[in-house]
Amino acid sequence: MSAFIHDDFLLQSDFAKRLYHNFAKELSIIDYHNHLSPEDIASNRQFENCTQVWLAGDHYKWRAMRALGINEKYITGNATDEEKFHKWATAVPYTLRNPLYHWTHLELQRYFGISDLLTEKNATAVYEMSNDLLNKPSHSTVSLLQQQNVELLCTTDDPIDSLEYHNSIKSQALSPKVLPTFRPDKSFGVGDAVSYNAYLNQLEEVTGNSINDYDALLVALENRVDYFHQNGCRLADYGLEQIYHSTTTDFNLDTLFQEVRNGKQLSVAQVQYFVGKVMLELSKMYHKRGWTQQFHVGAIRNNNKRLLSQLGPDTGFDSIGDFSHAVAISGYLNELDSTDQLAKTIIYNLNPADNEMIATMVGNFNDGTIRGKVQYGAAWWFLDQKDGMEKQLNTLSSLGVLSTFVGMLTDSRSFLSFPRHEYFRRILCNLLGNDVVNGELPADEQWLGKIVSDICYHNAVNYFEFDK
C-alpha cells in the first residue's frame, strides 16, 4: 500500500502533475504574513519535544480536541507533553475531511520522514522519533525553516516592539530573511479606555514624547512607522471585525481623544469614527513609503466568555462573523484614492459569503499604476482549507485576474506550518490541470507553468518590493 501523502497527492491529472513538479514544487517560499516568534528564530530555539513545536498555541487542533470530548487538561492544561501528544494522536483519525488531517500527515512526512498515519497505536513511536530529531541541529527553528526552502518571512509586530530580535537575526546573517510587519490595532483601541491609556503610556515611553492630543498620537505613530521602515518593514496589517468609514461631522477627533485620555468610555459610533480616521492617516503613511496594507476582516472573537476568562484570548473561541462591509470598504478606499494616497492593499475576508463582494470591490481601485495594486487576499483562517482555497481561486479567476495574485501565506504560529504552501500549490496546479482536461484552458504547459510560478513566488517578490 502506497503512502497516503505521495508525490502526486491531490494532483488528479497528468497535466496537474507536470505543473506542480516542473513549476511549483521547487520554488522558494515567501511567507509574507505569519505570527512566528522572532525571538525563537534569533535564538535558533531547539524545541524539547513534538508537543511544544506542534501543539502549543495551535487553536485549530485545540478546537478539534474539545469537539471530540477531550478534557482541557490534555489541551492547555497541566498534563505532561507526552500525554497531550497521545491525546492528539487519538483525535487525528477522527478529524477526517478537516484540513488538520492533511496538514498533520504532510507535516509528519516533510519534517520527520514519517509516512505512517498517526493513530493511538503508533503515538509513542512517532513521539519518540520526532523528539529524537528535534533534539538535533537539523531541527532547530532556523533549520526547520531552511528545510522548507523559506526565503523570507514577515512576522506580526506591535508598533511598540523594539524589533531587537529582527535586528539580531540580521546581524547573525541568518537565513531565511525575517522582516517585521506593522500591526497597529492597539494604537486606536479606544473602545477600552483603561487598556488604551496603558498602551499610550508604553507608546510614549518608546517614542520619548508625550501623547497629550490627537496630533501627538499621529506623530508618535509616524515615528514608529519610520522606525519599522528603517528595519525592513514593508507591510502593515489589521485584524478587524470591519473597516470603518464615516463622513459625519458630528465628532471632533481631539475632543474624543481627550475624553478617552481622561478615562471616559466612548459610544460605539464615536469609537468607530475614531478608529476609521486613525486608520486613514496610517494608510497615508504607508502609501508614502511604498508599503502594502493588509486587512483581515470578519471575525467574531472571544465568543465563549466562560472559557475566555479561564484560558485567555487566541485559544480557540473565535468564529466567522456576518458583518456588512461593502459600503464602508468602498468609502475607505475611495477617500484614499481621491487624493492619490491609496497604498497597495490586500483584503482578506473570513465569511465566504463576502467572496464575490471583496473580489469585485478591489477591482474598482486598480488604476493601472501597479500590477494587482488592490488584491483579494488568500483564503484565510477558517477558509484556509481545500474547499476554501478553491472557492477563493475560482472567485478571483471569474471576477478578477488570477495571474496577478500574490499567493499563499501561513498566518501561523507554528514552525511546522510551511507545508501549507505546498498544499496550496498542489490545489492550484490541480485546479488548472482540471481546466485543461475539461478543455477550458489550452494545454500550453509553459504558459500555465509561468502563471503557476508567478502566483507561487514571483508575484510576491515583485509586489512587495522587500529590497526597495
List the CATH number of the domain containing 126: 1.10.2020.10
Question: What's the distance, CA 180 to chain centroid?
Answer: 13
The pLDDT tens digits of the residues spanning 327-367 come to 999 999 999 999 999 999 999 999 999 999 999 999 999 99
Domain boundary among 115, 139, 163: 139
- Number of domains making up the chain: 2
Q: Do residues 282 and 376 share a domain?
A: yes
Domain that holds residue 438: 149-464
Q: Do residues 361 and 395 share a domain?
A: yes
| Cβ proximity of 355 and 400 under 8 Å | no
Omega before residue 38 within 30° of 0, cis: no
| Cβ proximity of 291 and 344 under 8 Å | yes
List the CATH number of the domain containing 171: 3.20.20.140
Q: Do residues 128 and 172 share a domain?
A: no
Mean pLDDT along residues 154-163: 99
C-alpha cell at position 448:
500555465
- Whole-angstrom distance, CA of residue 122 vs CA of residue 192: 49
Mean pLDDT along residues 137-154: 98
C-alpha cell at position 117:
498515519
- Whole-angstrom distance, CA of residue 361 vs CA of residue 396: 11
Mean pLDDT along residues 438-447: 99
Is 1's pLDDT higher than 70?
A: no
Enclosing H/E stretch for 30? strand 29-31
Residue 386 domain-assigned (yes or no) = yes
Q: Do residues 172 and 55 share a domain?
A: no
Q: Do residues 187 and 93 share a domain?
A: no
Q: Do residues 166 and 118 share a domain?
A: no
Task: Report the percentage of the chain scoring pLDDT > 90.
Answer: 99
The pLDDT tens digits of the residues spanning 48-96 come to 999 999 999 999 999 999 999 999 999 999 999 999 999 999 999 999 9
Q: Do residues 401 and 293 share a domain?
A: yes
- Whole-angstrom distance, CA of residue 321 vs CA of residue 298: 5
The pLDDT tens digits of the residues spanning 265-274 come to 999 999 999 9
Q: Do residues 118 and 247 share a domain?
A: no
Count of alpha carbons within 13 angstroms of residue 164, beta-carbon side = 4
Mean pLDDT along residues 452-459: 99
Q: Do residues 191 and 59 share a domain?
A: no
Domain boundary among 80, 111, 139: 139
pTM over 0.85: yes
- Whole-angstrom distance, CA of residue 268 vs CA of residue 242: 13
Distances in Å between the alpha carbon of 83 and those of 59, 76, 404? Answer: 18, 12, 46
